[in-house]
Structure 1
Amino acid sequence: MKKKTSLLTGLIALSIALTACSTKHPDIQTNQQQETKVTAVTPPATAPAAQPASKQTTAAPQTATGKLIPAKIISVTDGDTMKVELNGKKETIRLLLVDTPEVKHPSKPVQPFGPEASAFAKKILKEGKEVQIEIDVSERDKYGRLLAYLWVDGKMFNEMLLEKGLARVAYVYPPNIKYVDQFRAIQKKAQTAGIGIWSIENYAQEDGFHPKETATKKAEPTKQQSEKPVAETQKSTTPSSNVQYKNCTEARAAGVTPIYEGQPGYSRKLDRDGDGVACE
C-alpha cells in the first residue's frame, strides 16, 4: 500500500513539473522572437548616417563670379582695352562698366591719368600673363570687341582700376550690369579719398572726362604726372614729315614711340594690329 502511495505521489510531482516546463517554454520563444526583431531593425537605423558624407564629397564648389574662361595676355592697348589669346584666337577685350582716360584716341589728346592707367595695366597684365575672362550677358560691342570682366591672380582688374582712381564707372547698359553696384561703392571710396582722376576738380563726370574744365590749382599735380608722355607726343610731331623708320627698334631708339597715325614716322608696316598706333 505504501509503495502504491509513493508511486502515485511521484507521478503527481512529475505531472506538475512537466506542466511548469510547458508554461515557461512559450515565454522563451517569445523572447527569442523579440531579440530577432530588434536585430533586424538595427541596420536601417545606421544607414542614413552615411548619406550626408556622400553628398559632401560629390557637391562641387560654386564660384561667386560665374564661369571664368582662361586666356593669355598678348598686349595692353590702354587702361581699359587689351588683346588676349582666347581659345587659340586673338581677341580684343573691352572692360565692362569702367572707362579710363584716353591715350591713343585718334581725335583726342592724351588725357590726365590716361598714361598712368595704361602703365598700371601694363604692369599687372604683362605679355604672356594668364588671366580669366568673365562674360556678362551681351558678349560683344558694335566694334566686335569682347565685353568682359578681367580676373588676374584672383582679383578683378576692373575693380583694381577703380580702387586706384584710374577709372570711372561708365557705359552702364543693361543687361551687362552684374557688378555695377559694387563698382559704384568702390568708386565712392576713391572719390572720398580724392585719388587719381578724383584729385582734379570737375574732371571725371557722368558723360566723360573734361580736362578743360579742371581747376588750375588741382590740375598742376596732374600736369607734372603726365608731363613726360605729353612731352614725348610733342617731340614726335617736331621732326620733318618725311621721317621714316625701318622698324620699331629704330623708332624706340629715336625716343618717339608710340607713334600715332598722322604723326611723322607712322606707317602701316609698323602698326601690325591696325589700331592707329605704331610701335606701342
Structure 2
Amino acid sequence: MKSCRLGSGEWLLILGLVLLAGCQASPPKYPTVQISRVTSGQSVEWIDNSQQPPIIQQGRLIGIDAPDPAQEPWGKQAKQRLEELIDIPTKGSVSIEFDDTATDKYGRKFVYLWKDGRLLNEQLLKDGYVLASMRTPTGTNISGVKYRDRFIRGSQYARLMGEGIWNPEHPMRMSPSEFRKEER
C-alpha cells in the first residue's frame, strides 16, 4: 500500500482554505413571518403573533416604487410577481428586515424581504417590475437606503435588458408617482 504524504505547501493551502471557509460571513438572521397578503407590488401584510391578541401588520418594501394597482398592466404584474417571489399560494414565509424608520403615513413598517437568501426588493428591480426609489421613507436621498448600490444595479440591469416596465415595445411611460398625482 502506497502512503500519501502532503508537502508543506499543500498543508498551507488546505489550512488557508479551512480558515477562509470559517471566516465567511453568514447571512444575517432576521425574523421570519408568514405573509398573508400582497396588497400591491410594494406592500404586504402579515399576522404578528407576538402581540396579544395577534394583529395584522403592514409593510412597505423600501427602495422601490411599484406601479399603482390602477396603472395597467404594470401594477397588476408587479403585485403578481411579488406574490410569486414570496410563494403566497403555498408557504408565504419570508425573513423580514426592518428599516430604522418607524412607519409611513399609512402606518406601514418599512421592510426588506428575504427569501432563500434573495433580497426580494432587489429581485423586483432586476425583473423590471418596479423602479428604484430615489428617496427614503423620511424623504431624504437614497444614499440612506441600506442596499442602495444593489438597487441601482438591479434597476440598471432591467433597463439594459429591456425587462418588464423597460420593454422597448411596451414601456411604462409614466412613473408611479406621476401616475398617482395625475389620478388625484
Q: Same fold (TM over 0.5)?
A: yes
Change (3 A) 1:182 1:75: same
The change in CA–CA distance for 1:202 and 1:129 in structure 2 (over 3 A counts) is: closer
Cα deviation per residue 1:132-190 (whole Å; 9 max; x = unaligned)? 11012213212211100011122111111111100001152248510112101110011
Please point out which of 148, 166, 177 is paired with 1:198: 166
Structure 2, unaligned runs of 5 or more: 1-18, 180-184
Match of 1:117 in 2: 78
Rg (Cα) greater in structure = 1
Greater fraction helix: 1
Distance change (3 Å), C-alpha of 1:176 and 1:111: farther
CA RMSD of aligned residues (A): 2.8
1:130 equivalent to 2:93? Answer: yes
Picking from 54, 66, 73, the partner of 2:35 is: 73
Matches within 5 A, 1:1-280: 62-64=25-27, 66-86=28-48, 87=50, 88-103=54-69, 109-125=70-86, 126-127=88-89, 128-170=91-133, 172-173=135-136, 174=140, 176-199=144-167, 200-201=170-171, 203=173, 205=175, 208=177
Q: Retained in 1: the 8 A contact 2:123–2:154? A: no
The structure where strand makes up a greater share of residues is: 2
SS in 1 for 2:84: helix
For 2:100, what is the secondary structure of its paired residue?
coil
SS for the counterpart of 1:189 is helix
Task: Name the structure 1 match of 2:4.
Answer: none
CA distance in 2 between counterparts of 1:110 and 1:202 reads: 9
1:119–1:67 distance in 2 versus 1, CA, 3 Å: same
Distance 2:58 2:144 in 1: 18
Q: Match for 1:141: what amino acid?
A: D
TM-score normalised by the chain length of structure 1: 0.46
Count of aligned pairs: 147
In the superposition, the TM-score normalised over structure 2's length comes to 0.68
Cα pair 1:76 1:82 within 8 Å, conserved? yes
Q: Sequence identity of aligned pairs in percent?
A: 27
Q: 1:119 to 1:202 in 2, by over 3 A?
A: closer
Give yes or no for contact 1:71–1:130 (8 Å, CA) kept in 2: yes
